[in-house]
Structure 1
Amino acid sequence: MSSSIKRAKTSEIWNYFTPIPSENFIANCNICKRKLSFKTTNSNLKKHLTSNHPTIALPSSTKGHQNLQRHQEQEQQQQQDPQHSQQQALTDVSDSTESTQSSTSKTVQSKMTTFLPKRMNIGGTKNITEKLMLLFIKDFQPFSIVEDEGFKQFVHALNSGYDLPSRHSISKTLLPTMYEQCRNECLDMTKNVKSVCLTTDCWTSVNTESYIAVTAHFLNDEFQLRHILLDCSLMKTQHTSINLATEIKRVVTEWGFQEKVLLAVTDNASNIKNAITKELNWKHFGCFAHTINLIVKDALDNDIVSSLLKKVKTIVAHFKKVQTRQKS
Structure 2
Amino acid sequence: MSTPKLSSKIWNFFTINAEDESKANCDVCNKRLTRGGRNARSYGTSALINHLRSFHHSEYDEYTRSTESHKRKRDDEEDSKRKHSKQGNLDYFIEKMTPFGQNDPRKHAITKSIGEMIAVDMQPFCLVEDIGFTRLMKVLEPRYKLPSAMHFSRTIIPDMYLSVKAIIQERVDKALYVCFTSDAWTSDNNLHAFLSLTAHWIDSNWERQYAFLQLRLLEVSHTGEMLAAELLSIMEEWKVVGDRRGILVRDNGSNMVKAARVAKLSDLGCYIHTLQLVVGESLKTQKAVRDAIAIARGIVSHFRHSSKATAHLKRIQESLNSNRTDDVLDVTDQVHPAHRLIQDVPTRWNSTYYMLERLLEQKRAIGVYSQEADIKSLTANQWSLVDKVLNTLKPFEEQTKQASLASSHAGMIIPGVRLLERYLQRTKKSWR
- Determine if the TM-score, normalized by the shorter chain, exceeds 0.5: yes
Q: Following superposition of structure 1 onto structure 2, how do residues 1-328 of structure 1 map, counting pairs within 5 Å? A: 115=94, 117-120=97-100, 122-207=104-189, 208-259=191-242, 260-277=244-261, 279-302=262-285, 305-311=286-292, 313-314=294-295, 323=369, 326=372
Name the structure 2 match of 1:91: none
Superposed CA offset, 1:58-110 (max 9, x none): xxxxxxxxxxxxxxxxxxxxxxxxxxxxxxxxxxxxxxxxxxxxxxxxxx9xx
Cα distance in 2 for residues equivalent to 1:240 and 1:262: 23
Question: The residue matched to 1:281 in structure 2 has which SS?
Answer: coil
Name the structure 2 match of 1:37: none
Cα distance in 1 for residues equivalent to 2:248 and 2:205: 23
Provide closer, same or farther for how the CA distance between residues 233 and 315 of structure 1 changes in structure 2, counting only shifts above 3 A.
closer
- Which stretch shifts more, 143-152 or 165-174? 143-152
- State the one-letter code of the partner of 1:323: Y
Superposed CA offset, 1:131-185 (max 9, x none): 2123311222222222233322221111111111111211111111101001111
Cα distance in 2 for residues equivalent to 1:141 and 1:169: 15
Superposed CA offset, 1:231-271 (max 9, x none): 11111122211111111110011111121112111111222
Cα distance in 1 for residues equivalent to 2:138 and 2:295: 59
Where structure 2 has 5 or more consecutive residues not aligned to the other structure, the ranges are 1-86, 300-362, 375-432
Cα distance in 2 for residues equivalent to 1:142 and 1:311: 42
Cα distance in 2 for residues equivalent to 1:295 and 1:205: 24
Question: The residue matched to 1:227 in structure 2 has which SS?
Answer: strand
Question: The residue matched to 1:181 in structure 2 has which SS?
Answer: helix
TM-score (norm 1): 0.59
Name the structure 2 match of 1:8: none
Cα distance in 2 for residues equivalent to 1:202 and 1:167: 30
Superposed CA offset, 1:34-70 (max 9, x none): xxxxxxxxxxxxxxxxxxxxxxxxxxxxxxxxxxxxx
Name the structure 2 match of 1:64: none
Name the structure 1 match of 2:355: none
Provide closer, same or farther for how the CA distance between residues 215 and 323 of structure 1 changes in structure 2, counting only shifts above 3 A.
same
Question: The residue matched to 1:191 in structure 2 has which SS?
Answer: helix
- State the one-letter code of the partner of 2:129: E
- Which stretch shifts more, 169-178 or 201-210? 201-210
Structure of greater Rg: 2
Cα distance in 1 for residues equivalent to 2:156 and 2:219: 28
Question: The residue matched to 2:230 in structure 1 has which SS?
Answer: helix
**Structure with the greater relative contact order (CA < 8 A, sep ≥ 6): 1 or 2?**
1
Question: The residue matched to 2:142 in structure 1 has which SS?
Answer: coil
Cα distance in 2 for residues equivalent to 1:270 and 1:189: 33
Provide closer, same or farther for how the CA distance between residues 312 and 204 of structure 1 changes in structure 2, counting only shifts above 3 A.
closer
Superposed CA offset, 1:189-216 (max 9, x none): 1112111111111111245200101111
Query: C-alpha root-mean-square deviation of aligned residues, in Å?
Result: 2.8
Provide closer, same or farther for how the CA distance between residues 264 and 316 of structure 1 changes in structure 2, counting only shifts above 3 A.
closer
Provide closer, same or farther for how the CA distance between residues 194 and 325 of structure 1 changes in structure 2, counting only shifts above 3 A.
same
- Which stretch shifts more, 316-325 or 132-141? 316-325
- State the one-letter code of the partner of 1:196: V
Cα distance in 2 for residues equivalent to 1:218 and 1:270: 27
- State the one-letter code of the partner of 1:268: N
Name the structure 1 match of 2:359: none
Cα distance in 1 for residues equivalent to 2:297 and 2:250: 37
Cα distance in 2 for residues equivalent to 1:147 and 1:326: 50
Provide closer, same or farther for how the CA distance between residues 226 and 307 of structure 1 changes in structure 2, counting only shifts above 3 A.
same
Name the structure 2 match of 1:60: none
Where structure 1 has 5 or more consecutive residues not aligned to the other structure, the ranges are 1-107
Percent identical pairs in the alignment equals: 26
- State the one-letter code of the partner of 1:201: D
Cα distance in 2 for residues equivalent to 1:324 and 1:274: 50
Provide closer, same or farther for how the CA distance between residues 261 and 323 of structure 1 changes in structure 2, counting only shifts above 3 A.
same
Question: The residue matched to 2:210 in structure 1 has which SS?
Answer: strand
Q: How many Å apart are 1:312 and its aligned residue?
A: 6.1
TM-score (norm 2): 0.46
Cα distance in 1 for residues equivalent to 2:297 and 2:165: 51
Cα distance in 2 for residues equivalent to 1:327 and 1:306: 27
Cα distance in 1 for residues equivalent to 2:188 and 2:160: 27
